Amino acid sequence: MHLARFPRVRLAHLPTPLEPLPRLSEELGVDLWIKRDDCTGLAGGGNKTRKLEFLLGDALEQGADTLVTQGAVQSNHVRQTAAAAASHGLACEIILEERTGSTAVDYVGNGNVLLDRLFGAGIRRVPGGTDMAAELEKTADQVRARGGRPYVIPGGGSNAVGALGYVDCAREIVVQADELDLPIDRIVTATGSAGTHAGLVAGLAVMGADVPVLGIGVRAPKEKQEASVLKLARETAMLLGRPDAVTDAMVVADCGYVGAGYGLIDQGVVDALTLAARTDAILLDPVYTGKAMKGLIALARAGRFTSASGGETVVFLHTGGAQGLAGYHGELDAML
């Protein structure tokens, strides 16, 4: 795929480990492995670091001096963007959408929000349901008005440039699996802003690696989520010079585990967090990996990952986000 053609700034500790989860595997009856993208390093790690390597590379090539982005109040993407900006002497302006409606002290000021402030980002809050694309342009115009050179990054870093980070991750997973003599039957990941899911699909398709990806939705309904992922996966494949590589059948999302809505937790999420922590000492987050693991557990127990020929080997992509646990302290404490 020759990703060296694209501007890139090395931010992540790569390759991240691909490790077995022996106790959780025994609990679920599945050969479960974990791709540790919570260990990418930047600001505590997470999946957005891979995307930011290409986004920041593009920003610097364009001569930008300010990164502008947005996310929900406890956004992992915003935290990592603020850190990437700080590490390269750029300003960072972020817009936090009050998407969940929570006014809990921990949620609005602890966890990722505290880290955003620590990295020196400028923070502006807007109500849930705000047109975030318009707010990004508004902030970019304000940066230009004071003489700055903004580079706008969409929520989640999810455009074709950002998705290149997960094209690279797809390559990395295949290389590691080959080194381990590990035939992977399926990759499971949280799917939200679509960049991680789309990048994996595009990368695997362009390589010709026949490994299906199952996205567990954290926000949108199935039809909308799959359409978003498919569109971005095709845009990413086009950027790689293979516009016909991605087919409709390659994009699958199960959005039955969202619960009451984005960023809203329930007992199933807390049970998933607890099981991962108390079996293989894995810290998940309440918004993305907690819901993805909630779905994986339910599907495993329903026999989704087994067939007449035996159980599947499943790789769970850990996209990070444990820094957000502190923002949910009150709710978690009541459910644990």
The identity of residue 117, as a single letter, is R
What tokens were used for 212?
């299906």
Q: Residue 41 above 70 pLDDT? A: yes
The identity of residue 181, as a single letter, is D
Tens of pLDDT, residue by residue over 98-141, are 999 999 999 999 999 999 999 999 999 999 999 999 999 999 99
What pLDDT score does 71 carry?
97
Buried b (16+ CB within 10 A) or exposed e, 42-66: bbbbbbbbbbbbbbbbbbbeeebbb
What pLDDT score does 309 carry?
66
Report the percent of the chain where pLDDT is more than 90.
97
Tens of pLDDT, residue by residue over 145-170, are 999 999 999 999 999 999 999 999 99
Out of 53-62, 218-227, 238-247, 305-314, which region has the weakest mean confidence (pLDDT)? Answer: 305-314
What tokens were used for 329?
């302290």
Report the percent of the chain where pLDDT is more than 70.
99
CA-derived radius of gyration, the chain? 19
Residue 1 banded pLDDT, cuts 50, 70, 90: confident
Asked if 75 is an active-site residue, the reply is yes
The identity of residue 16, as a single letter, is T
Instruction: Find out whether 100 and 263 touch, Cβ atoms under 8 Å.
Output: yes
Nearest residue to 195 (alpha-carbon basis) of 225, 240, 238: 225
What tokens were used for 125?
């809050």
* 3-state helix vs strand vs coil in the chain, percent to 5: 50, 15, 35
Cα–Cα dist 65/278, whole Å: 44
CA atoms within 13 A on the CB side of 72: 24
Query: Which of the residues 25, 75, 102, 193 is marked catalytic?
Result: 75
Tens of pLDDT, residue by residue over 192-209, are 999 999 999 999 999 999
